[in-house]
C-alpha cells in the first residue's frame, strides 16, 4: 500500500540507514577519511577517567576543562543538545611531511604547520550540519571548539582506538589526525567500537621527554610539552625546560615513535590544507623582534595564534637555550635585557646561563 499524501509529506525523506549512508558519502567527499556513528548517551565509563584526571589536577591551568566537565560527559545536557540521539565522528588526517615552519631552527608540532584546522574543518562540518537540518534534525558541530569528549566518541564510533599515548589511532592511517563531531537528534545505526591494539608496546610512554605519562592512556598535562608550550601562562618550571628540547609549539614525540605511524603518509591532496605553509615560516630572531600585535598579524589563520606573542617568545628563548648553539647568545642577551615581558626576560636569562655557564 502506498503511503497517504499526508504521510509522504511529513515522513523524513530518508530513513536512518539511508541517512547514515548519505552522511558517510558526503563526509568522504568533503575530505573526511573516516566517518563513525555512536549512540548519544552519558559517557559513564569515561566519566570516571575524566573526573579522576580533574581531581588530580592534571589539567593544570585549563580551568575550562573543569567548568565544562558535566556537558562534556553528556551530549544530551542542556548546554549541548537535549534532543541528541547520535554523535557522528569525522576524521581528517594532517600532513606528515618533515618540512618545518615556525621560528627556525626550532620546531612546531606537525598539526600546527599549516592552516588552522578549526577554520578548515568547521567549514566542512557546516555543510553536513545544513544537510541534517534540511532533513529536519537538530545538530551542533564541534571541532575542538565545544565541550565534546572527542576521543571518547571516536572510540565509541569505531573510527579507531585510544592508544597508550592517549591519542586516537586509526589502523592503516595512524594518529596524525584531527577529530570533528556532529551531535544530532537524528537516530542513526551505530558502528562497533574496536579494541585497543597496542599490546605490550610502550614506546610512546618511554619516549616522552618530560615523563608526562602517569600510566597507559593517562597523561599529566602539566608535564606535557604540548600543554607547557601552548596552554601554560607564565614561567615554565625550570626542571621541565631542558626536556622541551627544540619544541616551541606542541610536540610529536609520543606519536612519531608509534609503530602505527609508520604507515605511508596520507595522500597529499587530503592533507593539503594542513600542509606546512611558507607564510608561517620565520626565524627565532625575527619572531623575538615581533611585538604582540605583529605576532597576531603574522599568525592569523594558523594554530600558532593561540599562544600570543609572550608565550611563544618564552618558548623560543628556551629552545635557543637548549640548542647548544652559542651563536644565539647576542639575541638572548638582547631579550634578557629589553623584552617587555618579565616571563620572557627570565626565560632568556635561564638560556644564557645554559649556553654560557658562569665560571666557578
Ligand atoms: C585538553 C586537550 C589537550 C591537553 C590534554 C591532553 C589529554 N591527553 O587530555 C593538551 C594541551 C596536553 C593536549 C595535547 C595534545 N592534543 Co589535545 N585536546 C584536548 C581536548 C580539548 C580535550 C581532551 C580531553 O578531554 N582530555 C581529558 C582526558 C582525561 O582525556 P584523554 O586523555 O583523552 O582520555 C581518554 C583515554 O586516555 C581514556 N583514559 C583516561 N584516563 C584513563 C585512565 C585509565 C586507567 C584508562 C584505562 C583509560 C583512561 O579515556 C579517555 C577517553 O577515551 C581535545 C578536544 C576535545 N574537545 O576533546 C584535544 C585533542 C584530544 N587534542 C588533539 C591533539 C592533536 C593533540 C596533540 C597531538 C597536539 C600536539 N601535537 O602537540 C597533543 C597530544 C598529547 C597527548 N598525548 O594526548 C586532538 C587528538 C587527535 C587524536 N588523534 O587523538 C584532539 C581530539 C583535538 C581535535 N579535535 O583534533 N590536548
Cβ contacts of 20 within 8 Å, gap of 6 or more: 37, 188, 189
Is the distance from CB of 108 to CB of 100 less than 8 angstroms?
yes
Cβ 154 under 6 angstroms from ligand 1 = no
Residue whose CA is at the smallest distance from ligand 1 atom 87: 144
Q: How many helices (H) and strands (E) would you count in the chain? A: 17, 12
Return the ligand 1 atom nearest residue 217 CA.
Answer: 37
Give CA 108 to chain center in angstroms. Answer: 13
Return the ligand 1 atom nearest residue 249 CA.
Answer: 72
Give CA 193 to chain center in angstroms. Answer: 22
Cβ 204 under 6 angstroms from ligand 1 = no
Query: In 3D, which of 170, 172, 174, 149 has the Cα closest to residue 160?
Result: 170
At residue 228, the pLDDT reads 99
Distance CA 178, CA 92 (A): 5
Give CA 213 to chain center in angstroms. Answer: 17
Can you list the domains of the chain with their CATH numbers?
A: 5-98+110-184 (3.40.109), 203-355 (no CATH)
Catalytic residue among 78, 144, 233, 267: 144
Residue whose CA is at the smallest distance from ligand 1 atom 61: 151
Strand partners, 247: 107
Residue whose CA is at the smallest distance from ligand 1 atom 23: 149
Return the ligand 1 atom nearest residue 250 CA.
Answer: 72
- How many A from CA of 162 to the centre of ligand 1? 9
At residue 7, the pLDDT reads 41
Give CA 163 to chain center in angstroms. Answer: 15
Cβ 168 under 6 angstroms from ligand 1 = yes
Q: State the pTM of this model.
A: 0.96
Residue whose CA is at the smallest distance from ligand 1 atom 24: 149
At residue 2, the pLDDT reads 43
Cβ 252 under 6 angstroms from ligand 1 = yes
- How many A from CA of 166 to the centre of ligand 1? 6
- How many A from CA of 5 to the centre of ligand 1? 50
Residue whose CA is at the smallest distance from ligand 1 atom 70: 250
Return the ligand 1 atom nearest residue 204 CA.
Answer: 77
Return the ligand 1 atom nearest residue 53 CA.
Answer: 29
Is the distance from CB of 163 to CB of 169 less than 8 angstroms?
yes
Cβ 153 under 6 angstroms from ligand 1 = no
Residue whose CA is at the smallest distance from ligand 1 atom 38: 217
Is the distance from CB of 331 to CB of 301 less than 8 angstroms?
no
pLDDT < 50 stretches in the chain:
1-12
Is the distance from CB of 148 to CB of 113 less than 8 angstroms?
no
At residue 1, the pLDDT reads 39
291 is catalytic: no
Question: Looking at 121-270, which runs of residues are DSSP E strands?
Answer: 139-142, 161-162, 168-169, 177-184, 213-215, 218-219, 247-249
Cell numbers placing 245: 628540547
CB atoms under 10 Å from CB of 22, counted, come to: 16
Amino acid at each position: 500500500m502506498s503511503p497517504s499524501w499526508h504521510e509522504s509529506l511529513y515522513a523524513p525523506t530518508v530513513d536512518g540507514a539511508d541517512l547514515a549512508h548519505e552522511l558517510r558519502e558526503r563526509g568522504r567527499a568533503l575530505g573526511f577519511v573516516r566517518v563513525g556513528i555512536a549512540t548519544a548517551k552519558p559517557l559513564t565509563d569515561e566519566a570516571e577517567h575524566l573526573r579522576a584526571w580533574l581531581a588530580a589536577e592534571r589539567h593544570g591551568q585549563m580551568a575550562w576543562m573543569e567548568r565544562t566537565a558535566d556537558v562534556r560527559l553528556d551530549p544530551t545536557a542542556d548546554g549541548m543538545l537535549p534532543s541528541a540521539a547520535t554523535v557522528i565522528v569525522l576524521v581528517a588526517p594532517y600532513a606528515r611531511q618533515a618540512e618545518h615552519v615556525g621560528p627556525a631552527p626550532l620546531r612546531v608540532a606537525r598539526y600546527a604547520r599549516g592552516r588552522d584546522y578549526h577554520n578548515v574543518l568547521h567549514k566542512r562540518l557546516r555543510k553536513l550540519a545544513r544537510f541534517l537540518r534540511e532533513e529536519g534534525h537538530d545538530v551542533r558541530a564541534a571541532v575542538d571548539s565545544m565541550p565534546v569528549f572527542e576521543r571518547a566518541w571516536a572510540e565509541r564510533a569505531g573510527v579507531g582506538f585510544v592508544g597508550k599515548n592517549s591519542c586516537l589511532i586509526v589502523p592503516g592511517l595512524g594518529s596524525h589526525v584531527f577529530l570533528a563531531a556532529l551531535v544530532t537528534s537524528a537516530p542513526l545505526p551505530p558502528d562497533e567500537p574496536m579494541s585497543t591494539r597496542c599490546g605490550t608496546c610502550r614506546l610512546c610512554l618511554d619516549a616522552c621527554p618530560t615523563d608526562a605519562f602517569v600510566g597507559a592512556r593517562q597523561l599529566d598535562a602539566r608535564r606535557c610539552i604540548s600543554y607547557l608550550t601552548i596552554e601554560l601562562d607564565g614561567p615554565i618550571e625550570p626542571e621541565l625546560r631542558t626536556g622541551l628540547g627544540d619544541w616551541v609549539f606542541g610536540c610529536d614525540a609520543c606519536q612519531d615513535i608509534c609503530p602505527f605511524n609508520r604507515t605511508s603518509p596520507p595522500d597529499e591532496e587530503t592533507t593539503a590544507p594542513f600542509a606546512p605553509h611558507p607564510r608561517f615560516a620565520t626565524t627565532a630572531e625575527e619572531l623575538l623582534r615581533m611585538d604582540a600585535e605583529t605576532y597576531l598579524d603574522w599568525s592569523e589563520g594558523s594554530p600558532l595564534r593561540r599562544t600570543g606573542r609572550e608565550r611563544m617568545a618564552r618558548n623560543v628563548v628556551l629552545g635557543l637555550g637548549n640548542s647548544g648553539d652559542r651563536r644565539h647568545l647576542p639575541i638572548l642577551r638582547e631579550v634578557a635585557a629589553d623584552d617587555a615581558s618579565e616571563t620572557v626576560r627570565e626565560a632568556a636569562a635561564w638560556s644564557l646561563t645554559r649556553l654560557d655557564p658562569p665560571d666557578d
